[in-house]
Amino acid sequence: MLPLPKKYFVTAASSEGETSLTAFDGALLRAGVGNTNLLKVSSILPPDCEFDPDLTIPSGSLLPIAYGYITSSEPGDIISAAVAVGIKRNSFGVIMEFSGKCSKKEAEQRVTRMVEEAFEMRGLELQEVKVASTEHVVEHIGCAFAAVPLWY
């Protein structure tokens, strides 16, 4: 059995690159997770997982992470990515991700509504929501990335 992560943070960043992959890599670096190996997970925050905005993940780590991203090679496109964590104290939480060709504000609204709906579906009381988002105007090839890294 794998251990449950004990800490998390929310992060979002954007970048340009010469390719979609290097734009994505640049966004990861700016978001503070670029020197790790991402293990994409779905949308549940473990019980008693503590928010730690100053958490540093060791380079090379296998990092459980819920994330959304978008890349575009259309100059002038506005792209955004957002994550939201819904929290109920003394319980598990729910993580939602969103990315699209829209404003940061719209991405935040959509991902927050997704968390609210997830809590409604589970019959849980939503006590707090943490959001991270980014907006990027594409110059050549751009990436917007938002994530919730989970750590031990």
Rounded to whole angstroms, what are the CA distances from 96 to 10, 30, 74, 108, 137? 11, 21, 26, 11, 23
Assess whether 99 carries a catalytic annotation.
no
Assess whether 20 carries a catalytic annotation.
no
Assess whether 97 carries a catalytic annotation.
yes
Nearest-angstrom CA–CA distance, 95 and 8: 11
Active-site residue (options: 43, 103, 106, 116): 43
Question: Is the dihedral angle over the CA atoms 65, 39, 121, 104 positive or is it negative?
Answer: positive
Active-site residue (options: 14, 72, 80, 97): 97
Active-site residue (options: 42, 59, 90, 125): 42
Assess whether 90 carries a catalytic annotation.
no
Active-site residue (options: 37, 50, 91, 139): 37
Active-site residues: which are they? 37, 42-43, 97
